[in-house]
């Protein structure tokens, strides 16, 4: 019983850490994939405003399956050069997420991703 009393809290903290970091890596991958989807979709737009609207719709569609996703938690920046379009996506972790607990140090409350695609030649 003494061994259990000493090791059970450590085991539970390790298990909780695995769950928290697993959720973080899944969310970070989803945010990066959404940025990729947004940049890929944005190249079909006719002008800068249309490309931004297409990118935001693609990002929201890609992130729709993420639990707790709300559009007010994400910031999308679209920047263009003559031959490229870059999507910068910032997603703030929801308050209800396991990532915001105080038991295990989490990697961060904001996840950032960027994707760049070449614009088709005219």
Quick: pLDDT tens for 72-122. Answer: 999 999 999 888 999 999 999 887 777 777 777 777 789 999 999 987 776
d(CA 14, CA 59): 33
- pLDDT at position 122 is 62
Structural domain count of the chain: 1
Contact assessment for residue 119 and residue 83, using Cβ atoms and an 8 Å cutoff: yes
**By 3-state DSSP, what share of the chain in percent is helix, strand and coil, each rounded to 5?**
50, 20, 30
Could you tell me the pTM of the whole model? 0.85
Tokens of 80: 């263009």
pLDDT of residue 85: 92
- Give me the domain span that covers residue 89: 2-118
Which distant-in-sequence residues (6+ apart) come within 8 Å of 52 by Cβ? Answer: 42, 45, 76, 78
Cα R_g (the chain), whole angstroms: 19
């Amino acid at each position: 019983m003494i061994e259990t009393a000493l090791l059970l809290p450590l085991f539970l903290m390790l298990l909780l850490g695995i769950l928290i970091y697993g959720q973080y890596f899944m969310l970070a991958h989803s945010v990066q994939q959404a940025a990729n989807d947004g940049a890929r979709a944005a190249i079909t737009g006719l002008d800068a405003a249309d490309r931004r609207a297409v990118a935001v719709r693609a990002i929201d569609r890609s992130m729709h399956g993420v639990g707790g996703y709300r559009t007010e938690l994400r910031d999308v920046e679209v920047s263009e050069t003559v031959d490229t379009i870059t999507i910068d996506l910032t997603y703030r972790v929801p308050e209800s997420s396991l990532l915001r607990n105080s038991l295990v140090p989490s990697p961060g409350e904001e996840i950032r991703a960027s994707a760049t695609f070449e614009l088709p030649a005219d």
